[in-house]
């Protein structure tokens, strides 16, 4: 169960980082809409509940039942409840990035609907897994539906990868050849790539660990971390807007910003992470 302890520590560290990002967001952008502030807080609150379940799970296995090897096969209810909360966080954050694709693609219905279908399918599988898992009390019994868990992990990695590719494509298509504009696009592409990469890799690692080492509980490590990565990717997107290159392009020193600046700012001006609202 050492993997549970390590996972709990890493998850707590990421939760602390998300709290800092939340504070930075609220203090830096007080003029954002109430709806946006509620959305950001709701995701963080779900993440906090997820962290509470992690703490409870770790306490039950490592403290309350220390030395009881038989209890290690018992599925603590908190482990299952984390599935539901993680699915809600994943749906919210992927929906945020879908909204970004929608705007950057000039409301491309085909691309958005295709990506949305992947996201909703993943959410549906997670709900089915949660509903079925409630009937099991041991990991031995739960292993009979591990195929659903693996499907869930695979479906988690696919939308993240697809959304990242879509963002890369639509941003890359907006290139104009201006040196300053190219720098803006490159930075935004790198930022978008990084936010989708870590969640996809974590889901892939969870899939591999269930497939190769199902008895090791190693998959719980990635299971702990994935929702934390989603939350941090969202909060970083909002809280770090001051560091995004759009600030440079909208500053007073640029009387006539290059065409790409107008294009990007127009496509993401509403509730998007690239437009700063400063006091």
What does the chain look like in DSSP terms, one character per residue?
-HHHHHHHHHHHHHHHHHHHHHHHHHHH-TTS-HHHHHHHHHHHHHHHHHHHHHHHHHHIIIIITTT-GGGGGB--HHHHHHHHHHHHHHHHHHHHHHHHHHHHTTS-HHHHHHHHHHHHHHHHHHHHHHHHHTT--BHHHHGGGHHHHHHHHHHHHHHHHHHHHHHHHHHHTT--S-HHHHHHHHHHHHHHHHHHHHHHHHHHHHHHHHHH-TTTTTHHHHHHHHHHHHHHHHHHHHHTGGGSTHHHHTSTT-SS--HHHHHHHHHT-SS-TTS----
Instruction: Using only the alpha carbons of the chain, give its radius of gyration.
Output: 20
Q: Is residue 279 part of a domain?
A: no
Q: Would residue 217 be called left, alpha or beta, if left means φ above 0 and alpha means ψ between -120 and 50 degrees? A: left
Q: Minimum mean pLDDT among 56-60, 103-107, 121-125, 273-277: which range?
A: 273-277
Domain count, the chain: 1
Q: Is residue 233 part of a domain?
A: yes
Residue 26: CB atoms within 10 A of its CB come to 15
Q: Is residue 120 part of a domain?
A: yes
CATH number at 84 reads: 1.20.1070
Q: Average pLDDT of the chain?
A: 78
**Residue 144, pLDDT above cutoff 90:** no
* Residue 180 confidence (pLDDT): 55
Q: Minimum mean pLDDT among 116-130, 179-193, 201-215, 218-232: which range?
A: 179-193
> Could you give the percent of the chain with pLDDT greater than 90?
26
Q: Is residue 76 part of a domain?
A: yes
Separation CA 61–CA 73 (nearest Å): 10
Lookup result for tokens 């995004």: 244
Q: Is residue 145 part of a domain?
A: yes
* Residue 273 confidence (pLDDT): 42
Q: Is residue 186 part of a domain?
A: yes
Q: pTM for the full model?
A: 0.79
Of residues 228, 227, 224, the one with CA closest to residue 7: 224
* Residue 277 confidence (pLDDT): 47
Burial label for 20, CB within 10 Å (0-12, 13-18, 19+), is exposed
Separation CA 210–CA 26 (nearest Å): 39
**Residue 211, pLDDT above cutoff 70:** yes
Q: Is residue 75 part of a domain?
A: yes
51 neighbors 94 (Cβ within 8 angstroms): no
**Residue 130, pLDDT above cutoff 50:** yes
Domain that holds residue 57: 2-267
Sign of CA dihedral 174, 169, 153, 212: negative
Q: Is residue 273 part of a domain?
A: no
Give the residue with greater pLDDT, 18 vs 197.
18
* Residue 47 confidence (pLDDT): 95
């Amino acid at each position: 169960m050492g993997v549970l302890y390590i996972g709990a520590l890493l998850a707590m560290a990421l939760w602390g980082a998300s709290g800092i990002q939340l504070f930075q967001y609220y203090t830096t952008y007080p003029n954002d809409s109430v709806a946006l502030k509620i959305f950001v807080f709701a995701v963080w609150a779900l993440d906090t509940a997820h962290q509470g379940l992690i703490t409870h799970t770790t306490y039950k296995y490592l403290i309350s039942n220390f030395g009881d090897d038989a209890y290690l096969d018992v599925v603590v209810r908190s482990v299952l409840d984390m599935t539901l909360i993680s699915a809600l966080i994943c749906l919210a954050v992927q929906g945020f990035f879908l909204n970004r694709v929608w705007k950057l693609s000039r409301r491309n219905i085909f691309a958005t609907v295709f990506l949305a279908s992947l996201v909703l399918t993943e959410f549906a599988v997670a709900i089915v897994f949660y509903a079925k898992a409630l009937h099991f009390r041991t990991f031995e019994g739960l292993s009979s539906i591990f195929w659903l868990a693996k499907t869930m992990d695979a479906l988690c990695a696919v939308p993240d990868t697809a959304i990242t590719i879509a963002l890369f494509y639509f941003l890359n298509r907006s290139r104009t050849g201006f040196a300053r504009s190219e720098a803006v696009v490159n930075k935004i592409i790198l930022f978008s790539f990084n936010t989708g990469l870590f969640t996809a890799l974590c889901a892939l690692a969870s899939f591999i660990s269930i497939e190769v080492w199902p008895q090791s509980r190693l998959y719980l490590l990635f299971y702990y971390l994935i929702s934390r990565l989603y939350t941090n990717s969202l909060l970083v997107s909002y809280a770090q807007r001051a560091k995004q290159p759009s600030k440079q392009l909208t500053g007073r020193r640029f009387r006539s910003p290059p065409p790409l600046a107008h294009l990007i700012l127009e496509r993401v001006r509403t509730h998007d992470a690239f437009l700063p609202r400063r006091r």
